[in-house]
Homo-oligomer: A and B are copies of this chain.
Amino acid sequence: MLGSVSPRHTIEPMPAAPPGPRPLPEATVRRLPLYLRALVDAIDERQLMLSSEELAARAGVNAAQVRKDLSHLGSYGTRGVGYDTELLRQQINRQLGLTHEYNVAIVGAGNLGQALGNYRGFTERGFNVVAAFDTDPDKVGRRLGSVVVYPMAELPQVVGEKGITMALITAPAHAAQDIADRLVAAGVTSVLNFAPTVLNVASHVSVRKVDLAVELQILGYYEHLRNDRVTSPKVASAN
């Protein structure tokens, strides 16, 4: 699992789970956004219906998987026909909690923080970057995308006032844990960590990580593997 989230449940006995509506399998949750994207594209192309086969092709997964995943949301397909694109889009949106918008902070106004502050994809999908923070006095006060960079000291107030629930950590690794602690203390409950470090947070907070160098290292492994396959049997496998 690259982005390992798993809100630490599973270990705690779980307070006698209230009848709460849905606990989707984690693997399904990770794919719903892909289906959503595919559906939005299809709707833009005026497609009213889509079979699991077609949706699978657009999302880059297997058709049986699509059906299994969607069956967890309920029965929104029509046998012999397929899925109503608009209806399905709404259902997935609802499941993912995208019916309301989220306010997001960026902590660390370096290269990456600046790029993410300007990234249109967030706002387009309902994630509003409403504040940025940095310790560097030179960066404080500057603009980053459409928002101002605040000093770290103001984090608690700003998070409270702006109703920030999610944060991106784009600071150096050595600062990341401290930042996470402050964010959680201020009331943030979801963190996307770009720093190459493990973060320890309370169990009611979700953390996902994106480590860009790790992605390249993984690609490097397969690259390496292929090169060995080709060069070691000297005369090469006919092909």
Contact = CB atoms under 8 A, between A and B. Distances in A.
Contact of A104 (B20, B216, B227): B216
Interface in A181-223: 189-192, 196, 198, 204, 206, 208, 210-223
B217 A33 contact: yes
A220 B115 contact: no
| Copies of this chain assembled into the complex | 2
Interface of A: 1-5, 7, 15, 18, 20-24, 27, 29-30, 32-34, 36-37, 58-60, 95-98, 102, 104, 111-112, 114-116, 118-119, 121-122, 124-125, 127, 165-166, 189-192, 196, 198, 204, 206, 208, 210-229, 232-233, 237, 239
B214 A34 contact: yes
Contacts of A223: 97, 102, 165-166, 189-190, 206
A37 B176 CA distance: 15
Contacts of A32: 217, 221
A136 to B, nearest CB: 16
12 contacts: A18-B229, A20-B229, A29-B221, A34-B214, A98-B220, A102-B216, A127-B213, A166-B220, A189-B226, A190-B219, A192-B212, A208-B218
B198 A58 contact: yes
Residue in A33, A104, A196, A228 with the greatest tally of chain B CB atoms within 10 Å: A33
A23 B233 CA distance: 16
A67 to B, nearest CB: 18
A216 B19 CA distance: 26
B98 A212 contact: no
A217 B212 CA distance: 19
Nearest to A123: B213
Given A30-B218, A221-B97, A119 B127 contact: no
B225 A121 contact: no
A204 to B, nearest CB: 7
